[in-house]
Amino acid sequence: MVAEPARDGSVQELENKQEWWWVAEKKRSKRLDYLRKAVWKKGALGGNYAPGIKLDLECATLFTDMWNFWKYDPIMMRRAKAIAHVLDNKTIFITDHAQLVGYFGSLPHTIMWRVDGASMVNEEAYNEPGIMPEPEQESLEKVAKLNDYWAGQTAVDKVARILDPEDAVKFLSGAIGWGAPSSAYGYSGKDYEYLFAGKRGFEDIIEDIEAAIEKAEEKTVGVPGPEILDIYDRLQNWDAMILVLEAAMRHAKRYARLARTMAENFETDDKRKEELLRLARTCEQVPAKSPRNLQESFQYDHFVQMFARVEAHEGAWPARPDYYHGPYYDKDVNIDKTLTKEEALDLVGEFMIRAYEVGGFAPRWAREGLQGITGTWVWTLGGVNKDGTDACNDLTIAFLQAARLVRVSNPTFGFRWHPKVKDEVMRECFECIRHGLGYPSMRNDPLLVQNAMHWHGHPLEEARTWVHQACMSPCPTTKNGVQPMRMASATANCAKMVEYALHNGYDHVVGMQMGPQTGEASSFTDFEQLFQAWTTQMQWLTNLLVRTVNLGRYKDPEFFGRPFLSGISQRSVESGLDVVSPVGDRGNCWITAFTWVENIDSLAAVKKLVFDEKKYTMEQLITALKANWDGYEQMRLDFVNNAPKWGNDDDYVDDIMIRCLQATARHSHVMKCPSGNNWPILPENVSGNIHYASIVGALPNGRRCGDALYDGGISPGPGLDKKGPTAVLASCGKIDHIADGRAFLLNQRLSPTQLAGEKGYQLWKAYIRTWADLGLDHVQFNMVSDETLRAAQKDPEKYSEVIVRVAGYSAHFVDISRKTQDNIIQRTVQGI
């Protein structure tokens, strides 16, 4: 039994006991302590919203009112006017002690509701217990009225109407994948090169747009011809962009006015008064003009993120804050000395807190799949400059230090490791991991830059700007590289590939013929027949998902429209096209491959026990699987314990992994995105392994329907990697991390006891060197002991700040479901 957390001990005592959450509380400033505790956590606990969290009806109502009023406008303009109405009229607030402002909901405890996204989500909002603002009856009536208005005319409704009916039924069955084929949900990359490297404020962008309009209008008064016809639509789009950018600037000025009102009428403390006046000056400067200092730079970035979220439900947060804000840190702290390191750390910590408090209403499947958080805010740190030199700077270090002080589970960091990263930066990364944050994840930068060039043809300099588009997938922040719409609606529940191969394409869980009929597996006489069936099912499943997403992407400018996102993207500013339009987008799609390794372990088990050793017949196996292994326990254990498992450096099974990946990679070059580019797979899971536990049937790897699936990516099954961490790395190193897929998630648990002190750091650093030498692109660590996790299960109140890495994201341990908690405890703790 672990000792009860000793929050009253000295910092040294707490550090010795590795009670990092209490260390953070003692070490951080009073301001950060207040702001961190002030956050209304929007991440669902397991799948349910915390008490006090309420649906934001104000923004949904304002948006709908104006959307309805401008019903005859083209969609971009109509949306721009509706967004402007929200920004001009929604309630805004400034929290005590805050130096950064901006929340997309109206009040700190509200979750934004994307009312125009999908009717089925709106119905869920109506039925979700506990989230209606008081008086509940009145709120329910408002929601019902809004739902009546939007029924049938949301973005997803419109896409669903034009999908092939069979595709629609199978996509919406929930069995083979998830997501929404619309930019109403998902995430968008931001053209940071245009905004930040280009030092543009919104006034500068409007000048760019006006110049483009002027040029276009020369054509519309010129010689008639087909080439000028689409310019009329573009002119409307440009006007919509200007309209929404102007509204965004007015919105920022509302904060400036509020800060001045507070300073001049309410605040009695001189220091706070000065802070409020500085905040007012900040919001008068950005986003209208480009930032002059670190505070303005953070504020600008945060505003951009908030405005994009008023426009669409964004479930990720692609960003590279040390790279784009670093020069301002350097100027303020090192050159002008207008900020001390401590003051800068306060700003960095608050910048993270402002992101942590963001949350929109999500349907239950999304909440179960992303337990404890509201989206995957994986911020990118480190990496290289465009010329290949080390991009780490003092702000990189400040972010890693601030993370240990604020201990938020969102945002987390992905660190772009490369051989030139200095030891002091590596130590900071390690300290975050040692403090149990589960982040940064380590990414192999040279390899991922090559990967981006291989799969999508990004030029070297652009590839070097990459950020995490969501949990894992790299994407450039450049004019033609930036990805405006989530393509992970092509999120595949890959365990279904082997399941369907074994059941002739029939899904016994949902009770319908899903995949093609690839033959009765009981009649298969050799492994090649099974592998061929698997390949056919893989191609069918990925084709269906990609078709759906491609169509959603292609029709999005017609069905949804992104005036704000277009207005901050160079290619739209220049072309007048909705940024979601595939024109000008090089293409950066990937299929998020959930539940991947089950295929490998299952195929290996069948090959070994049925076809090689002939211990069981296919008929016996299919009978046992249909019975969910009930009554076949000894046989099930045989399939688990006497068949080779991925992650043990065993070529028998590792070769099957490579075959499956290569077959999929070949198909990835065949499937094309709307820009004509490739669709590689990216194995990872978030907490989809729990969500799909009751949706995937029994498999030859020994799982029953109901069991959590493996924790994802290319991570071995929990407890099945029995030969130590080097064997895990050796197995993973057999994969070509450039040509076999877009990226590969690897979870590892390490022992906090073993990795204590300087010796621990040196061990970890050597491990990372091996990881890099073997050519892996990703690894992330949990370094919290079983004892602590188990104590947290027993006494969640006392361990409310324990953070774990779930998959591509981190969460507070007490916020995830019991099943997910248990799944994390099952993972092998590797001694290195």
- Tell me whether residue 152 or residue 719 sits nearer to another protein (CB atom): 719
Q: How far apart are CA 600 and CA 645, in angstroms?
A: 8
Min CB(630)–another protein separation in Å: 5
Please tell me whether residue 210 binds another protein under the rule CB under 8 A. Answer: no
Q: Report the residue count for the chain.
A: 832
Please tell me whether residue 707 binds another protein under the rule CB under 8 A. Answer: yes
Q: Which of 720, 750, 784, 802 binds another protein (CB under 8 A)?
A: 720
Q: How far apart are CA 705 and CA 697, in angstroms?
A: 5
Please tell me whether residue 633 binds another protein under the rule CB under 8 A. Answer: yes
- Tell me whether residue 75 or residue 252 sits nearer to another protein (CB atom): 252
Min CB(640)–another protein separation in Å: 5
Q: How far apart are CA 566 and CA 208, in angstroms?
A: 13
CA distances to 16, 57, 354 from 51, in Å: 35, 17, 20
- Among the listed ranges 387-395, 418-426, 715-723, 757-765, the one in contact with another protein (CB under 8 A) is 715-723
Which region holds residue 388: left if phi is over 0, alpha if psi is between -120 and 50, else beta? left
Q: Which of 269, 270, 634, 797 binds another protein (CB under 8 A)?
A: 634
- Among the listed ranges 118-126, 568-576, 700-708, 771-779, the one in contact with another protein (CB under 8 A) is 700-708
Please tell me whether residue 654 binds another protein under the rule CB under 8 A. Answer: no
- Tell me whether residue 377 or residue 710 sits nearer to another protein (CB atom): 710
Q: Which of 377, 456, 825, 830 binds another protein (CB under 8 A)?
A: 825
Phi and psi at 512, nearest 5°, equal -155, 160
| 664: its two tokens | 């999929």
Total Cβ atoms within 10 A of residue 2: 17
- Among the listed ranges 176-184, 279-287, 362-370, 701-709, the one in contact with another protein (CB under 8 A) is 701-709
Q: How far apart are CA 130 and CA 580, in angstroms?
A: 36
Please tell me whether residue 822 binds another protein under the rule CB under 8 A. Answer: yes
Name the E strands within 260-419. Answer: 313-314, 378-382, 412-417
Phi and psi at 830, nearest 5°, equal -90, 130
The DSSP symbol for 104 reads: S
For the chain, how big is the Rg over CA atoms in Å?
Answer: 26
Answer yes or no: are the C-beta atoms of 589 and 678 closer than 8 Å: yes
Q: How far apart are CA 117 and CA 489, in angstroms?
A: 14
Q: How far apart are CA 224 and CA 800, in angstroms?
A: 68
Residue 626 CA, chain-centre distance (Å), reads 35
Min CB(722)–another protein separation in Å: 9
3-state class of 101 per DSSP? coil
Give the β-pairing of 747-750 and 829-830: parallel
- Tell me whether residue 90 or residue 158 sits nearer to another protein (CB atom): 90
Question: Which secondary structure element, helix H or strand E, spans residue 111, and what is its range?
Answer: strand 110-111
Min CB(723)–another protein separation in Å: 14
Q: Where are the alpha helices (DSSP H) in 97-228?
A: 119-127, 136-150, 155-162, 165-172, 192, 202-220
Min CB(416)–another protein separation in Å: 34
Phi and psi at 361, nearest 5°, equal -70, 130
Please tell me whether residue 831 binds another protein under the rule CB under 8 A. Answer: no
Q: Which of 68, 719, 753, 766 binds another protein (CB under 8 A)?
A: 719
Q: Which of 315, 587, 713, 718 binds another protein (CB under 8 A)?
A: 718
- Tell me whether residue 44 or residue 195 sits nearer to another protein (CB atom): 44
Q: How far apart are CA 548 and CA 164, in angstroms?
A: 9
Please tell me whether residue 254 binds another protein under the rule CB under 8 A. Answer: yes
Min CB(566)–another protein separation in Å: 27
- Among the listed ranges 192-200, 222-230, 392-400, 788-796, the one in contact with another protein (CB under 8 A) is 788-796
Q: Binding string to another protein for residues 49 to 68, with x set by CB under 8 A, is what?
A: ---x----------------
Min CB(599)–another protein separation in Å: 15
Q: Which of 334, 641, 753, 762 binds another protein (CB under 8 A)?
A: 641
Min CB(14)–another protein separation in Å: 24
- Among the listed ranges 102-110, 297-305, 431-439, 579-587, the one in contact with another protein (CB under 8 A) is 102-110
- Among the listed ranges 32-40, 126-134, 342-350, 371-379, the one in contact with another protein (CB under 8 A) is 32-40
Q: Which of 464, 586, 703, 742 binds another protein (CB under 8 A)?
A: 703
Q: How far apart are CA 506 and CA 515, in angstroms?
A: 7
Residue 643 CA, chain-centre distance (Å), reads 35
How many residues touch another protein under the rule CB under 8 A: the total is 56
Question: Which secondary structure element, helix H or strand E, spans residue 467, and what is its range?
Answer: strand 467-468
Please tell me whether residue 91 binds another protein under the rule CB under 8 A. Answer: yes
Please tell me whether residue 669 binds another protein under the rule CB under 8 A. Answer: no
| Cα–Cα nearest to 189, from 590, 780, 768 | 590
Please tell me whether residue 108 binds another protein under the rule CB under 8 A. Answer: yes
- Tell me whether residue 276 or residue 665 sits nearer to another protein (CB atom): 276
- Among the listed ranges 286-294, 459-467, 518-526, 625-633, the one in contact with another protein (CB under 8 A) is 625-633
| 362: its two tokens | 């999500």
Q: Which residues bind another protein (CB under 8 A)?
A: 1, 34, 37-40, 52, 88-96, 107-109, 254, 257-258, 261-262, 265-266, 628, 630-631, 633-634, 637, 640-641, 693, 701-708, 717-720, 786-787, 790, 793-794, 819, 822, 825-826
